[in-house]
Chains A and B, each alone.
With several copies, the nearest count.
Chain A
Amino acid sequence: MIEKILIANRGEIAVRIMRTCREMGIRSVAVYSEADRKAMHVRYADEAYCVGPAPSLDSYLNIDNILKAAQEANADAIHPGYGFLSENALFAQKAAEAGLIFIGPSPEAISLMGDKLTARQLMTDSGVPVVPGSKESMADETMLLKTATEIGFPVMIKASAGGGGKGMRLVKQESELIPAYRRARSESLAAFGDDTVYIEKYLESPHHIEFQILADQHGNTIHLFERECSVQRRHQKVIEETPSPFITPELRKKMGQQAIAAAKTVNYTGAGTIEFLMDKYHNFYFLEMNTRLQVEHPITERVTGKDLVKAQINIANGLELEFKQEELVQKGHAIECRIYAEDHKNNFAPSPGLVKNITEPMGLGLRTDGYVYEGYEIPIYYDPLISKLIVWAPSRQEAIARMKRALYEYKITGIKTSIPFLAKIMDSAAFQQGRYDTHFIEDNLEFLLEEDATHQTYEDIALFIAYLDYTDKLNKYTPEKTADTKSQSNWKTFGHRNNLFHL
């Protein structure tokens, strides 16, 4: 059985994994870059090893250094978290070669799902619907034009090795096709070292709905229902909820079965996520599989009552799944808000810096997964996600009310955060009614950026408090001045006396 796990990650997810390790009596090993010596995951872990300079490429993405740390710590397993090396087949491979248990699927499964064209083909072969589009790489412009015309505009050009919106282009009409194709290829080459692109039909009013799956080494594969992730900004998820307000119980069942089928095509083991796109007519298509834990896994944990990290570790230990599909229910409703260090009024620019005060929201139905603390300086090198706020309530309406209450209580000062922006989303009619697709933020941006009406009394009081605080501050520094004045006057007196003495 696994007794010591190296967590090849940082931030909230590293701490979250260590929490489960501690509950399971497993020792945790942190790795950190030179910029992260004071980071929470280093403080929380039982052991910690430096793996290189601040840039991720030199530390959190440095496979050799991480494996060396695992060896030094005598760890018997590695948990990759999300991001960084979590979907790197070579890392999984090298970890296994070094005699370490990689807490995730096989290198083969990572590879197959990591290449989007291959994954599309696998799905098609297994009867899982994919977005209509090319079965192969668009190697030349003639082929491209022919395929695009067959599919029908608008189309999306996508990098086969892509992710995070890079190498992706929306093409609304034929005239835009060739220039967009060329840009996508060069962007993909620059970002991933591979210029393979393919095209897909562009869905109108799309929903991003994903299914959590768990598969053990004994052939048991189950799903833990969906997460609705359509509240996005630039392909970055902002809010997730489960159950989805958009799908029906019949669809849920069908999509869940398809998700299990998709995972089985690669003999998947561990925790993974099948992402689907769904159009406004409830047609759904396989988008991609994430072969790792997701940022938004806590909402699934909350409605099912399962600890997904514990399930991952148990699977890696070769244990059978502790629960069966028919035992799982979605109880109540859970919503997650991602708290980013960013300034939404300044084009969502990241806002690293020194965290001065934090007041965590507390009480019934809340969970926070964060990693920043008072006095911590958020480094500029990594993701701006600083915390996740998860609420649960019996109904969606109550969950929204609770989220509003929690966002009201949550105070982080010193840096700008997305808390006010998230509160505006909770106030928007479209979100409250559950009528939203991936264009939600774009479509509602004016409302979401609008300031609440100025309250004359509050403004006046704010002015007075500023006045008080400032004059207090001046008074606090006055004693020093008084002392100066005093010593100066003593000095004069002394001089005066001297004068007298010598006269």
Chain B
Amino acid sequence: MSLELKINNRTARIEILTRNGSHYRVLIDNKEYELDIEKVEHNAYSILHQGKSINMEMIEGKSANHYQVNTYNRYYEIDIIDAATRYRHHFNGQITSLDRFITSPMPGKVVKILVEEGEAVARNQTLIVVSAMKMDSEYKSPFDGVIKTVLVKEGQAVDALQHLIEIENMGKEEGKSKKGKG
């Protein structure tokens, strides 16, 4: 299978040389490892490597090919890029620009919306306030632009990564009409 694995800025290639039950001989970016790997719990793996006992938790992230990995003293995020994902990424890149949407990284409740559709906003202007667990977070505009759509209402509960506000970037030309407040 053609898979690329990304960790930070590194893209890694993996090749399994031999497998004998839970024992693997594997090349990771041309470095050879002998590993004994057992899945012990829902998310947890026990690995023996040259006598060392290593535990890793593999937590599925936002999607099936995103992992959050906990080891003893570190936390990693790993993305797996297979052919289909590569294609999808490529395709998405053509039609939407993700940074046009304001999202909250955690679930919460919209406390205040400070802008209206059609309003011109400046970079770093606060657009919306979302409250979670007794703490208010302000979300600001990433660029100078115009509010295209306000997708939520004050008092509304929102999910993590839900789109809250769509902005059009005024510094960028796109081949679409710029509607004012309808």
Contact = CB atoms under 8 A, between A and B. Distances in A.
Interface in A367-423: 373-376, 380-384, 408, 411, 413-414, 420
A458 B28 contact: no
Nearest to B26: A464
B106 A458 contact: no
B132 interface: yes
Interface residues of B, number: 62
A49 interface: yes
A30 B53 contact: yes
A474 B80 CA distance: 12
A48 B48 contact: yes
Contacts of A466: 5, 58, 67, 69, 78, 80
B73 interface: yes
- Say whether chain B's binding surface is mostly helix, strand, loop, or mixed: strand
Contact of B31 (A45, A49, A376, A460): A460
Given A346-B105, A350-B133, A461 B49 contact: yes
Contact of A353 (B42, B57, B65, B106): B106
Question: Quick one: which of B12, B24, B54 has the most chain A CB within 10 A?
Answer: B54
Nearest to A461: B47
B53 A408 contact: no
A401 B49 CA distance: 27
A376 B137 CA distance: 24
- Chain A interface size band reads 35 or more
B33 interface: yes
B33 A349 contact: no
Contact of B134 (A37, A374, A382, A414): A382
B14 A462 contact: no
A38 B38 CA distance: 7
A346 B65 CA distance: 23
Contact of A464 (B14, B53, B70, B135): B14
20 contacts: A38-B38, A42-B48, A43-B40, A48-B51, A341-B133, A349-B106, A352-B132, A356-B59, A380-B133, A413-B43, A454-B74, A461-B33, A461-B56, A462-B69, A462-B71, A463-B7, A463-B14, A465-B58, A466-B69, A474-B1
Interface of B: 1, 3, 5, 7, 12, 14, 22, 24, 26, 28-29, 31, 33, 35-38, 40-49, 51-59, 64-65, 67, 69-76, 78, 80, 105-109, 131-135, 137, 157, 160
Interface of A: 29-30, 37-38, 42-49, 72-73, 341, 343, 346, 349-353, 356-357, 373-376, 380-384, 408, 411, 413-414, 420, 451-452, 454-455, 457-471, 473-474
